Structure 1
């Protein structure tokens, strides 16, 4: 009987462990990072941060795509923001999302046609966006501060204020905002230059972020 329980029960144990691991992985992807607090007196510069504006996400033909007019309007505002930042002499940086965790990749391939997974052409920045010579950093979870290279670049450029644009407002944008606020950055979110698949959720998050110190314009 005990041997039979072992044979029958082993898959249950494995599945339970896999389920727990899946929860932990998804929680990590959706949790803002923590880091040392910056000194704003030593960070006088401003950076425009464009998050995850990649073809896989902007032109996703899956079950919940962005309505083209909504998408194109936001991309146009992002381009104007990039142009304005260049004219003002502000820093500009692009963030790309690429899932790197093996389990996350399998889940995304199963439920979302593999968007954002390694090897896809759709990982490139949307062709409508004028990247120019701006640096591009990669992250594998929601908060852009999970990229050490991005955080080091902000320090090198003496950036203390971030202007956030991109997508999804309810995920990577708000997680990056929370990661920045936890470090003492000044944070501005340009609402018209962001995209979200869940606008009803974004309304609540905007209030939360505003209470935490972010400025949403």
Structure 2
């Protein structure tokens, strides 16, 4: 389903792995934290080996202060010096950031999305990408969320399963969406 880029964006033949908010304070209480971080680490290694850009996204707000220990990317993962980091303050990684410009500079029209939290920034960024003309692929076993059931949300496992299910069937004219397992992500096309 996701072999050829079908983005509606012109001159954007490349893919990028996007790592959203895998920060100490964001994933500290997340479901399957270690498993998800390990899956993302493997994807980052595979993307780098295939010369596919890795774009990191880091959130800050009143509860997650920039440069604090909680704001840092988890110690198991580290952006390479040449990999872009997008700093954001809203759920959608495109809002009030330079994400779009960085993707344009890399010729990226297809996003392979991982990170946290499933029901907030991951979901917002997926929808933001599709609405802006990108292909947007969710890696089903490389995103997570915390338990927000005390505020009326479903259990985190259900949030993740539901997001994987509904994103599997998303589509838009001239664009592809979908959900794939980390082991099935194909980086063989490289960045060009």
Query: Aligned runs of 1:39-188 on 2, under 5 Å?
Result: 39-59=8-28, 65-67=29-31, 70-99=32-61, 105=62, 114=63, 116-118=64-66, 120-133=68-81, 134-188=83-137
List structure 1 segments (4+ residues) > 4 angstroms apart after TM superposition. none
CA deviation map 1:174-202 (0-9, x unaligned): 11000000011111111111112222123
Q: Which runs of 5+ in 1 are unaligned?
A: 1-37, 60-64, 100-104, 106-113
Q: CA deviation at 1:149?
A: 1.1
As a proportion of its length, which structure holds more strand?
Answer: 2
CA contact (8 A) 2:170 2:178 kept: no
The alpha-carbon deviation at position 208 of structure 1 amounts to 2.9
TM-score normalised by the chain length of structure 1 = 0.68
Structure 2 unpaired stretches of 5+: 1-6, 147-155, 172-176, 181-192
Higher helix share: 1
> What value does the CA root-mean-square deviation take over the aligned residues?
1.7
Asked whether the 8 Å contact 1:50–1:95 carries over to 2, the reply is yes
Secondary structure, in 3 states, of the residue corresponding to 2:102?
Answer: helix
Task: Answer with 1 or 2: which has the greater Rg.
Answer: 1
Alignment match, 2:166:
208
